[in-house]
Structure 1
């Protein structure tokens, strides 16, 4: 089975007040942390960029099997980037996550791969997070059907399975600089265990 990945990194980072994909996260950038863990479980990772894409291209230029893709409609929001990513897929299933989830553990990816369902969502203490694992053929319906305005609508309408994981990182994205500082503290704490 061929597994690929989509990382959504086209947003403006407006609430953070700085371009968060390029922030240092314990020696590597936020986007590198996100892509680096996902890449271990994927034959190819597509990073969908928009705003400040040149920074992402520079950061990821030496990463094998990682392709940075431009979403010319990135101002239309995250769902437009989901569609751009899906158009690129060639595999059977794919992981999908926003690029500002740098603290997800590898074990989470492994746990999701054990579930043989079309859409699999990780949960931590009952709360849903990222990355999600989706069957590529099922996801292609997003491209051919205008009834969905976001990914949540799609996953709810199709139904999904949940996998409980021991990974608080699935819930913790970076919206503000405060989020970044708190997440970095948490990451350093569990890295040093």
Structure 2
């Protein structure tokens, strides 16, 4: 007997991270006893949802140490250059049998696993949902199976904004400030490190 399909988490890790002006790729920066991407993957896996990672070749070896090989989608530099939309499409297509998809940037290392589960559960009733903390919109953004054909057609740097503009998106209120913190800059990384060593610093 086949298990009931569940939403999958699509971790986006194929971007160049051009706003990060420190040494090396932002996703490979140390955070605690891991890296920014390593921590994001760990929390995604802890949600017990299927995790698909869309990444570049330089990051693939490290990702394969955490995620099943079938769930690692490696984009060529040319495909990665087509923008976030291409990454989302590739991840959704790789998990076509899921009941929905949570789009999670690879630079969200402080988000809580339960937040992913709560957003995933909301896809049972709403086609587009997002995590919200104290009235502020954050990640992940979730899409139900009915939007599959539109998701796999995405291209460009706008990501899924076109879908968010077309469909009413419903907030899922969570007590998780980590939904707001992505590591785009050196200052963001410093803030993540400070918060990691002092829980509650984002409050």
TM-score, normalised by the number of residues in structure 2: 0.83
CA RMSD, Structure 1 to Structure 2 (Å)? 2.3
**Structure 1 residue matching 2:101: 3-state secondary structure:** strand
Unaligned runs of 5+ in 2: none
Change (3 A) 1:64 1:76: closer
**In 2: Cα distance, 1:15 partner to 1:57 partner:** 21
**Structure 2 counterparts to residues 1-193 of structure 1, below 5 A:** 1-17=5-21, 18-50=24-56, 53-54=57-58, 56-65=59-68, 67-72=71-76, 73-89=79-95, 90-115=97-122, 116-144=125-153, 150-190=159-199
**CA deviation map 1:106-130 (0-9, x unaligned):** 2212322342321110111211111
**In 2: Cα distance, 1:8 partner to 1:15 partner:** 16
TM-score, normalised by the number of residues in structure 1: 0.86
Unaligned runs of 5+ in 1: none
- Deviation for aligned residue 1:145: 7.6
Q: 4+ residue runs of structure 1 moved beyond 6 angstroms?
A: none
**In 2: Cα distance, 1:6 partner to 1:15 partner:** 22
The total of aligned residue pairs comes to 188
**In 2: Cα distance, 1:64 partner to 1:47 partner:** 8
